Structure 1
Amino acid sequence: MSFSNSAGGSNAARTAFEFGRTYVVRPKGRHQATIVWLHGLGDKGSSWSQLLESLPLPNVKWICPTAPTRPVSLFGGFPSTAWFDAQDISEDAPDDIEGLDASAAHVANLLSTEPADIKLGVGGFSMGAATALYSATCHIFGQYGNRNPYQVNLSSVVGLSGWLPCSRTLKNQMEGSNEIVRRAASLPILLCHGSGDDVVAYKHGEKSARILNSAGFSNLSFRSYNGLGHYTIPEEMDEVCRWLSAQLELQGS
């Protein structure tokens, strides 16, 4: 699927990257929530769909898209699956707003066809977590970075081993709008990070959580895992399951 139009904008010089294959894990019980889960840099949707299928969340439908293959500055322009271009993995790096908008629009598009009574969420790992957090900011502003309207109502956001894009301008953008502040305060966010992460340093995850909190995302939980590297462990996924069950008020199957 090409996103040359899905993120909007009439810039003729836009680069249209093709998104890869989307994997869907259907709910085993009564469908109550749909969560789009975003993989990390260089990965694909199928890697996570297998793990998510094994979780004890029978009422959740998981949608695991695959990012476009595109040149990545971090790899000297070598192509890789990536939700946006990254020059550096931290909240201080320059932001690829066009790439972030396109991926956030792809996520919103995947959620937009879900039934009206289903709770919607977005989560991810590493660069996928960064994209999930960017989606959270689009949700509270009601628009993408390019000012096109963001029309999906998110009920939960999960980020594992990630960071917050556009962190430098977030607080200023939120000032002066009670509606934006109210939306931020009511959006539940769970962030998890390992202290031994050698890809996205723990300090970036921790600082991103602090920035979100001080900007007004007061319903935010940050969990740290001692010695955990750039991967996930059952203990962390158990926490994700508990948190999602509570926030989305998931019933038994």
Structure 2
Amino acid sequence: MTVLETIVHESTAEHTGTVIWMHGLGADGHDFESLAPMMDSPHTRFVFPHAPIRPVTINGGIRMRSWYDIRNLVSGPYNDRESLEEVEGSHTLLLELIESEQQNGVPFKQIILAGFSQGGAMSLYTGCRFPHQLAGIMVLSSYLLFPDAHKTESHPSNIQTPILFCHGSHDPMVDIIQAGKKSYDLLVEEGRTCEWHEYPMGHEVCMPEVREISRWISECIP
């Protein structure tokens, strides 16, 4: 059975909650590891999984860490860009990771799913379908996968779960309007509790965003 390898930053006080934070295309679990000490969350454990290695079409078929294949970068509807089979495969691996945290004593409602780019898409895909209430879902420079299927496959357990969107206004990879804001608007229309923050940056993370993330995590996992 395939199990995700992880980088773990343990809590500095009694462990009461966990953030599972997914990296973007071509990166690995070390990508956001350095941000864990910047979070004002001493009771929180940070888990940074490595995505599986697979060929990526938009990068000429080169094998790299990727949560799913991306076939093209066409703007607009995103229903045919990604491999559903690979998204579902990563979804299953993330479910196992969430359940392992719960088996180690962390209630589901004290677990946040977070991610950047592809990782953010997976956090949203998995979080909205998860059958138990989570503490929060964090979506950085990312978007909603398969929005048509989302409407019928979402689970009501997380309809009130806080969702944080952060996006760069100059993002050349994941368009802030066609991908980020459109995803946010769709979820708000469903009655979900969402926050939207944008920053004058590209496909990256900035310090004001890091401070916002720290504030939000400490509110979701007191």
TM-score range, shorter chain: 0.7 to 0.9
TM-score by length of 1: 0.78
Q: Return the match for 1:59 from 36, 43, 53.
A: 43
Q: Return the match for 1:193 from 157, 163, 167.
A: 167
**1:47 Cα offset (Å):** 1.9
* 1:112 has 2:99 as partner: yes
CA distance in 1, matches of 2:72, 2:145: 11
**1:72 Cα offset (Å):** 0.9
The answer to whether the 8 Å contact 1:92/1:168 transfers is no
CA distance in 1, matches of 2:52, 2:152: 31
Q: Which amino acid aligns with 1:241?
A: S
**1:64 Cα offset (Å):** 0.4
Gaps of 5+ in 2: none
Larger radius of gyration: 1
**1:170 Cα offset (Å):** 2.3
The answer to whether the 8 Å contact 2:133/2:158 transfers is no
Gaps of 5+ in 1: 4-18, 143-151, 175-179
2:112 match: secondary structure: strand
Residue of structure 2 equivalent to 1:13: none
Residue of structure 2 equivalent to 1:73: 57
Identical counterparts, % of pairs = 29
Residue of structure 1 equivalent to 2:90: 103
**1:97 Cα offset (Å):** 2.1
2:96 match: secondary structure: helix
Residue of structure 2 equivalent to 1:241: 214
Q: Return the match for 1:83 from 67, 86, 99.
A: 67
2:214 match: secondary structure: helix
CA distance in 2, matches of 1:43, 1:208: 24
Q: 1:54 to 1:245 in 2, by over 3 A?
A: closer
Q: Return the match for 1:158 from 138, 161, 171.
A: 138
- Aligned CA RMSD, in angstroms, stands at 2.0
Aligned residues: 214
The answer to whether the 8 Å contact 2:54/2:63 transfers is yes
The answer to whether the 8 Å contact 2:128/2:159 transfers is no
TM-score by length of 2: 0.88
